[in-house]
Amino acid sequence: DAKTTQPTSMDCAEGRAANLPCNHSTISGNEYVYWYRQIHSQGPQYIIHGLKNNETNEMASLIITEDRKSSTLILPHATLRDTAVYYCIVPSTDSWGKLQFGAGTQVVVTP
């Protein structure tokens, strides 16, 4: 898997947008960027993934830079329930399904 680098933690005010960065400078041309989150001691939850173009779903938006060396997960209107550890993962194409979770970013949404 391409190595990813995320900040250890970040705070966000409730109702504001949360922008979570991820660096993946060694990503290969056909590798996707995936985002998961884990609310305290619960099972991780898939959020979104993308290859080149920006992606949006009901949970979040994913912005991938043109050179694909970094991406940003955007939670448009953070709520207290968005407090979680967020993982940015870039699985290699020869290890489908073998997700490697790093330490992630602890996001705390405050009232």
Which amino acid is located at 100 in the chain?
Q
Piece in contact with another protein (CB under 8 A), picked from 11-19, 58-66, 69-77, 93-101:
93-101
Provide the minimum distance between the beta carbon of 96 and another protein in the complex, in angstroms, as a whole number. 5
By CB under 8 A, is residue 30 in contact with another protein? no
Tokens of 52: 């080149």
By CB under 8 A, is residue 35 in contact with another protein? no
By CB under 8 A, is residue 108 in contact with another protein? no
Question: Is-contact 108 11, C-beta < 8 A?
Answer: yes
By CB under 8 A, is residue 101 in contact with another protein? yes
DSSP string, 46-81: EEEEESSS-EE-SS-EEEE-TTSSEEEEEETT--GG
Q: Which of 17, 28, 46, 51 binds another protein (CB under 8 A)?
A: 46
Question: Is-contact 11 29, C-beta < 8 A?
Answer: no
Cβ-in-10-Å burial (0-12, 13-18, 19+) of 73 comes to: buried
Q: Which is nearer to another protein, 43 or 111 (CB)?
A: 43
Q: Which residues here bind another protein, judged by CB under 8 A?
A: 32, 34, 41-46, 49, 87, 89, 91, 96-104
